[in-house]
Structure 1
Amino acid sequence: MTLTNSDIAELTAFRRDLHRHPEVSGQERETARRVVSALSNHPPDTLITGLGGHGLAAVYAGPADGPTVLFRAELDALPIQELSAAPYASSTAGTGHLCGHDGHSTILMAMARLLSRRRPAKGRVVLMFQPAEETGAGAAAVIDDPRFKTIAPNYAFSLHNMPNLPLGHVGLIAGPVNCASRGLRVAFTGKPAHASEPENGTSPMAALSGLMPDLTALSHGTTQDPDFTLVTVTHVQMGAAAFGIAPGDATLFATLRTLTDDRMNALCETALKMINETAAHNKLTVTHGFEDIFLHCENDPHATDILRTALDTLDIRHDASGLPMRASEDFGRFGHTAKSAMLFLGAGMDHPALHNPDYDFPDDLTPIGARIFEQVTRDILGG
Structure 2
Amino acid sequence: MNPLIQLRHTLHQFPETALEETQTANRILEFFRPLNPDLILEKLGRTGLAFVFKGKKPGKRLLFRCELDGLPIEDLKESDHQSQIPGKGHLCGHDGHMTIICGLGEKLSQNRPESGEVVLLFQPAEETGDGARAVLADERFEQIRPDFAFALHNLPGYPLHQIVMRKGTFAAGSTGMTIMLTGKTSHSAHPEAGINPAQALAQLIQELPKLPQEATGFALLTLIHAELGSLAFGTSAGKGSLSMTLRAFDQQDLDELIEKVKFKANGIAESEGLKVGFSFVEQFAVSVNDSELYALVEKAAKDLGLSLTEKPDPFRWSEDFGLFSQVCPSFLFGLGAGENCPQLHEGTYDFPDELIEAGVGMFWGILSQLQ
TM-score normalized by structure 2?
0.94
Whether 1:261 aligns to 2:277 is no
Superposed, 1:6-21 pairs within 5 Å as: 9-21=2-14
- 8 Å CA contact 2:69, 2:126 repeated in 1: yes
* Gap regions ≥5 residues in structure 2: none
Asked whether 1:88 is paired with 2:62, we answer no
Note the alpha carbon deviations across 1:196-221, whole angstroms, 9 max, x for none.
54444332222222212322222349
User: Corresponding residue for 2:302?
Assistant: 312
Among 259, 262, 279, the residue aligned to 1:289: 279
- Counterpart of 1:348 in 2: which secondary structure? coil
Match of 2:105 in 1: 112
User: Any conservation in 2 of the 1:172–1:323 contact (CA below 8 Å)?
Assistant: no
Q: Return the alpha-carbon distance in structure 2 between the equivalents of residues 200 and 357 of structure 1.
A: 50
Q: Any conservation in 2 of the 1:298–1:341 contact (CA below 8 Å)? A: yes
Q: 1:188 aligns with which of 173, 181, 190?
A: 181
* Partner-residue secondary structure (3-state), 1:177: strand
Q: Which residue of 2 aligns with 1:40?
A: 33
Is residue 209 from structure 1 mapped to residue 202 from structure 2 by the alignment?
yes
- Alpha-carbon distance in structure 2 between the residues aligned to 1:96 and 1:246: 42
Given the two structures, how large is their TM-score scaled by the length of structure 1?
0.91
CA, structure 1 residues 212+87, in 2 after alignment: closer, same or farther (shift >3 Å)? Answer: farther
Moved more, 170-179 or 274-283: 274-283
Partners of 2:298 and 2:66 in 1: CA distance: 20
Pairwise CA RMSD of aligned residues? Answer: 1.9
In structure 2, what is the Cα distance between the partners aligned to 1:226 and 1:361?
37
Task: Summarize the alignment of residues 27-66 of structure 1 with structure 2, pairs less than 5 Å apart.
Answer: 27-66=20-59
CA distance in 2, matches of 1:21, 1:244: 48
Do the aligned residues in 2 keep the contact of 1:82 with 1:96 (CA within 8 Å)?
A: yes
The correspondence of residues 146-157 of structure 1 with structure 2, limited to 5 A, is 146-157=139-150
Letter in 1 for 2:7: F
Q: Could you tell me the percent identity over the aligned residues? A: 38
| SS of aligned partner of 2:154 | strand
Deviation at 1:370, TM superposition (A): 0.7
* Structure 2 counterpart SS, 1:16: helix
**Contact 2:212/2:257 (8 A) holds in 1:** no
CA contact (8 A) 1:226 1:259 kept: no
**What do the CA deviations read for 1:268-309 (whole angstroms, capped 9, x no partner)?**
111111111222233322111222221111111122221111
Q: Which residue of 2 aligns with 1:361?
A: 351
Q: Distance in 1 between matches of 2:282 and 2:48?
A: 18
Corresponding residue SS for 1:363: coil
State the Cα distance separating 1:66 from its structure 2 match.
Answer: 2.0
> Bigger shift: 286-295 or 102-111?
286-295
Any idea what SS the aligned residue of 2:12 has? helix
- Opposite residue 110 of structure 2, the aligned amino acid is R
Per the alignment, residue 335 of structure 2 pairs with 345
The 10-residue stretch of structure 1 (250-259 or 274-283) with the greater mean CA deviation from structure 2: 274-283
Residue 195 of structure 1 and its aligned partner are, at CA, apart by: 4.0
- The match for 1:3 is none
Matches within 5 A, 1:209-248: 209-220=202-213, 227-248=217-238
Q: Using the TM superposition, name which of 319-328 and 306-315 deviates more.
A: 319-328
- Specify which of 314, 322, 327 is matched with residue 332 of structure 1: 322
Instruction: Give the secondary structure class of the aligned counterpart of 1:324.
Output: coil
Residues in 1 aligned to 2:226 and 2:18: alpha-carbon distance in whole angstroms: 24
Deviation for aligned residue 1:325: 0.8
Deviation at 1:340?
A: 0.9
Give the aligned partner of residue 94 of structure 2: 101
CA distance in 1, matches of 2:342, 2:312: 16
